[in-house]
Amino acid sequence: MTTFAEKTDNPLRKIWEGPKIDPNKDKKLITLQIGDPTAFGNFYAAKESIEAIKNALEKDNFSYTVSSGLKAAREAVASYVNNNDKSVQVNDSDKCFDVNSEDVIMSNGCSTALEICFRALANPRENILVPRPSWNYSTWLEPTEIVSKFYNLDCTRNWEIDLEHLESQIDESTRAILVNNPGNPCGNVFSKEHILKILEIAEKHQIPIIADEVYEFFTFPGIEFYSFSSLSKNVPILTCSGLTKRFIMPGIRVGWIVIHDRNNQLNDIRKGLLNIAGRNFWPNSTAQIALTEIIKNTPKAFLEENAARVHDHALSAYKILRETPGLIPIFPRGGMYIMIKIELEKFPKFKTCLEFTQQLIREQSVATFPGYPCFNFPGFFRIVLTVPKELIIEACERIKEFCEQNCKQSEKYLKSG
């Protein structure tokens, strides 16, 4: 095995695809792990998106595309970004910086877009600042010997970035700050004011930002989404997104990088991005042909309804989990997940969140992802909110029963009663 292969580790996939823990045979397994919104069939692509794919197939065009992607697809993404950013201005006198097709690079999903950015920005032994907790970006960084340097999110402040800690992590080898907004696994959605503070730090240290915004606009009622690019005046932003989450099309594998560089600070990096994209990373031509119609024709009401349904699921889960002994759920502001803190001192049987989640499968047939190793955040676990509502309620009731049976505090209460 090569060193690259040996260092390539995706803990989520190891748990999801690896050796299975036997569930309670008397209870049907409920899986609240993988972030595929289509997995249970209750969330699905808009009929307009399906029609767009059909129309693209009928064009009978299955040729290779240029490495940056079809021009029509890149134009569609540029228009999509410009239209969304128009609603926000840096201040009253500054207009948003418009991008064009030359600022867009198509990719095989958002994860590949991120990988291209990592490799274009940092050399081995240089570092990229990564949030903690977060999706496992180290899967792409560590094999290339790019260092993941973690900054903390604060669960007591709706998972905002600990700005003091973020700045303390910057050194002479820092090549980018990676932000995930809305966030996985926390459901954080940063306010305009918070984003401006992050941009201030990046500008002070002259560091570009990689913005993982694949959950863009997937926010709950009363919560506004602001893209980093819409608020940045001087900091270059590489925005990575795609069709996976908002458009409910994870398997179509269409993603993109949008280069927001109004002051031309990333000219060399732009060349590097295109060089790396030329290594056969482009998505299939059929999906790119369909992209214009998908973006143009998907009703706004469809997109908003999906977010509203996930919000309803979050409310149902939170209502049960907040009454569960030994657990502290952190209500999300958007995205597709909720993080729950385990007060491990109240569960003497379990030393770690991994042990907690493993025993939860054995006793209650409920599968979740532990905060560690999945998100580099011990003492928590994550559940997915896109499963059918009735299954979320049943799963959370089982989690509550599990905690009542295993929590030291519950045992004392039962004895005193």
CATH superfamily name and code, 11-44+301-416: Aspartate Aminotransferase, domain 1 (3.90.1150.10)
Q: If DSSP codes are grouped into helix, strand and coil, which group holds residue 380?
A: strand
Note the pLDDT tens digit of each residue in 161-188.
999 999 999 999 999 999 999 999 999 9
Domain ranges of the chain: 11-44+301-416, 47-298
Q: Quick one: average pLDDT of 261-265?
A: 95
Letter string b/e over residues 281-319, b meaning 16 or more CB atoms within 10 A of that residue's CB: bbbbbbbbbbbbbbbeebeeeebeebbeebbebbebbbe
Work out the mean pLDDT of the chain and round it to a whole number.
Answer: 92
pLDDT at 335 over 70: yes
Query: pLDDT category, 16, cuts 50, 70, 90?
Result: low
Give the torsion sign (CA, 96, 100, 103, 106).
positive
Four-way CATH pick for 47-298: 3.40.640.10, 3.30.70.2740, 3.30.420.40, 3.40.50.300: 3.40.640.10
Is a pLDDT exceeding 50 seen at residue 411?
A: no
Write the pLDDT tens digit of every residue in 183-212. Answer: 999 999 999 999 999 999 999 999 999 999
Using CA atoms, how far apart are residues 301 and 287, in angstroms rounded to an integer? 23
